[in-house]
Amino acid sequence: MTLSSRQLINTALLAFLALLPFFTDWVGDSFYTGLVARILILAIAALSLNLLIGYGGMVSFGHAAFVGVGAYVVGIGTFHAFEDGVDWMMNGYIQLAFALLVSAVVALTIGAISLRTRGVYFIMITMAFSQMLYFSAVGVETYGADDGLSIYSRSDMLGLIDLNDEKSLYYLIFVSLLLVLFLMHRLIGSAFGNVIRGSKSNEARMRAIGFSPYKYRLTAFVIAGTIAGYAGFLMANLNDFVSPDMMHWTRSGDLIIMILLGGMASLFGPLYGALAFLMLEELLSSIPLTIGGLHVGEYWQLIFGPLLILVVLYARNGVDSFLPGARKGS
């Protein structure tokens, strides 16, 4: 099997990510392992959202809510295990099962109502639902309201893997990313993926040839929400902390930015986008330039905002359009 230059680049990236903890061991600074782990989790969430936006044309503006739901399951479980001595709520597998189940049920509910609408209405109603979840998290005093919940102990995976070990956690995240990438690859090429892509391309014709897109779209919505819930499970363990801010609509906006920066039309796009997004943040905020006593880096969004507009206007496919073998046009 021969690889195209694009596949080579993708493989090189994955190889780099696989070896990263050893590099940082060697340098003796584990800060970057944590940063990259965060990027990879966000990439998982962005990948799931790209099933909706990039392949399905469903611009969901509330995806961060599912990440929050998954994360809160871990937070709430740990909370009761510590406060009320309910030991089974520490069990990582039970937490994981609930994280997936609850985010799936929430996605089913939100999707069932939202997918009745189109266009701008869909964007707005998904945003509104995510704000509902955000405000309910803000409102619940028991679970820390505004301040969120600290997670005193990471999910207990019963000795199979120790999440307290940063390297083990990193590899769990990395392998999860690989699995999600592979899952997306199969999903997009399947009969189901065909219907999702067809419904984005031409819904009227889909109906005319005998498809009812609604139930397929709803299924995609639930799949994407569940994967995002999984990302939340990982995020809670990485940060040792959950807060309503994870579900704020601007976090959903960040996920869309990642998709846009990476390029919607490609499988790897969201991964590149997540990398680009957080790298840009790191890079811009450390610009060593001082004008009239002001550190430019401190006001990095002053550059990032217009940059985003420029990407939208002139580099529609983001990072993807700079990689070899990019699809022209579209």
Residue 207 contacts another protein per CB under 8 A: yes
- Residues 24-53, one symbol each (x = binds another protein by CB under 8 A, - = not), give -----------------------------x
Query: From the centroid of its chain, how far is CA 273?
Result: 11
- Residue 287 or 308: the one with the smaller Cβ distance to another protein is 308
Residue 44 CA to residue 50 CA, distance in Å, equals: 10
User: Which of 38, 94, 304, 326 lies at the binding interface for another protein (CB under 8 A)?
Assistant: 304
How far apart, in whole angstroms, are the C-alpha atoms of residue 295 and residue 101?
46
Contacts of 108 (CB under 8 A, 6+ apart): 218, 221, 222, 225
The verdict on 290 binding another protein (CB under 8 A) reads no
Query: How remote is the C-alpha of 265 from its chain's centroid?
Result: 17
User: Does residue 76 belong to the site contacting another protein (CB under 8 A)?
Assistant: no
Please name the amino acid found at residue 26. Answer: W
- C-alpha 81/C-alpha 83 separation (Å) is 6
Q: Which is nearer to another protein, 125 or 181 (CB)?
A: 125
**What are the angstrom distances between the C-alpha of 228 and each of 65, 148, 234, 237?**
9, 19, 10, 14
Comparison of 5 and 136: residue with beta carbon closer to another protein: 136
Terminal alpha carbon distance of the chain: 29
For strands 290-291 and 294-295, give the pairing. Answer: antiparallel
The letter for the amino acid at 241 is F
Cβ 190 to another protein shortest distance, Å: 5
Q: Is 297 in the site for another protein (CB under 8 A)?
A: no
Residues 97-156 touching another protein, rule: CB under 8 A, are 113-114, 116-121, 123-125, 127-129, 131-132, 135-136, 138-142
Q: Which is nearer to another protein, 42 or 238 (CB)?
A: 42
Phi, psi values for residue 242, rounded to 5°: -130, 145
User: Cβ 102 to another protein, closest distance in Å?
Assistant: 17
Asked if 261 and 315 touch (Cβ cutoff 8 Å), the reply is: no
Choice between 5 and 194, CB closer to another protein: 194
d(CA 54, CA 47): 9
Provide the minimum distance between the beta carbon of 202 and another protein in the complex, in angstroms, as a whole number.
5
Q: C-beta of 26: minimal distance to another protein in Å? A: 36
Nearer to another protein by C-beta: 7 or 168?
A: 7
Task: Give yes or no for residue 293 binding another protein (CB under 8 A).
Answer: no
Q: How far is the CB of 63 from another protein (least distance, A)?
A: 13
Contact 50, 43 (CB under 8 A): no
Among 82, 171, 192, 241, contact with another protein (rule: CB under 8 A) = 192
Q: How far is the CB of 235 from another protein (least distance, A)?
A: 22
Least distance between another protein and beta carbon 238 (Å):
25
Give DSSP secondary structure letters for 289-316: -EETTEEGGGGTHHHHHHHHHHHHHH-T
Task: Based on the shown chain and the rule CB under 8 A, indicate whether residue 181 belongs to the binding site for another protein.
Answer: no
Q: Which stretch binds another protein (CB under 8 A): 2-10, 85-93, 226-234, 253-261?
A: 253-261
Counting residues that bind another protein (by CB under 8 A) gives: 72
Residue 92 CA, distance from chain mean position: 21
Is 209 an interacting residue with respect to another protein (CB under 8 A)?
Answer: yes
| Shortest Cβ 112–another protein spacing (Å) | 9
Locate 159 and state its tokens. Answer: 């000795």
Partner residues linked to 295 by β-bridges: 290
